Amino acid sequence: MTFGELLLTVGLPTLVGAILIVPAWVIPRIRKTAGIAGSALGVALGLGVAIAFMTVADIPSLPPTQKWHMLPIIACGVTVLCPVVAMVDGSGELGRWLIGIASGAIIGWLAVFPNMDLFMRILLGVYVAMTFMVLSWGSHRRRGLTLNLAFTIVFTGLTLLCMKAHFITLTLIAAALSSISFVAFLSALVAAIWTRDEDGKKRFIKIGWGGAFAIAALIPMVTFCGWAYNTGDVQWVHWLLVAVAPVMLLFGELPGLSHNNRLSGFVVRIALVTAPVVIGLTLLYSGVGLDVDHADDEYNIEYFEEHMEP
């Protein structure tokens, strides 16, 4: 892949994400419109997956020619549903549970990647539901600065895992998601520095249930897809360590930390998310616990299309 192709695959989704996120979070009149600010991140991430995929592999077909092509198809569904989820933000615990269970059940049913039996599909569904419960709750308690930097770290970790798994297209998709999350972090930072609410206080952006819904769907799907198509040295423990990182935000709400909204609290919460990602990547790149060595092997998407489908 040339530098131009790499720039297109990662840069175009990032540009589209910026066009959606920056006005929704920075321009006061736009962000006051119901549901826009709360769905901007989710729509940007869902479209990012679809755009990144299409720049490499064209428009996915229905039914998909490869099982992993369900990833961009489900991402398109996430894009459509994000505004709906954002509109019911704050509907209460019943709404949170219904969205979590429904999204987990649907994604666990549709995302049938290779080597995924019924147990693995249930595990994926539970993972999606649990992640949404954590992030939707956290979206009301934590600012977009904290959450989006955490998402950037997690997607960067997944990018490196997919690279070591020799899954080129998924590596580019994860990189695009990381880049979009970083744009969201910068946008939230700009909104906090340069905008004020009616009382003259800094306006801190929250990702809303729409953003939580997209993240809760995409991180598990990228993780399971990367695991299913892994032909490198990445073991399940590496995927697990990076995958649980968003849930580590729960520990930032323990007594003594939950009311710490200063810089020290921000650093602690980011450190909680970063720790499992760094541990997983350190174990992988140091070769600890690896039984085989594929470090010099090279694979591409054609290999997967010809050999990985059962």
Low-confidence ranges of the chain (pLDDT < 50): 292-298, 300, 302-304, 306-310
> How many domains is the chain partitioned into structurally?
1
**Tokens (6 digits) for 60:** 């996915």
Q: Running DSSP on this structure, what letter comes out for residue 306?
A: I
Number of helices followed by number of strands (H, E) in the chain: 12, 0
Check if the beta carbon of residue 231 is closer than 8 Å to that of residue 307: no
Query: Tell me, what's the pLDDT at 263?
Result: 77
**Tokens (6 digits) for 85:** 């989820």
CA distance linking residue 52 with residue 170, whole number of Å? 9
DSSP strand E in 151-249: where? Answer: none
Query: Tell me, what's the pLDDT at 231?
Result: 82
DSSP strand E in 116-176: where? Answer: none
- Closest C-alpha among 89, 128, 294 to residue 208: 89
Domain with 260, as residue range(s), is 3-308
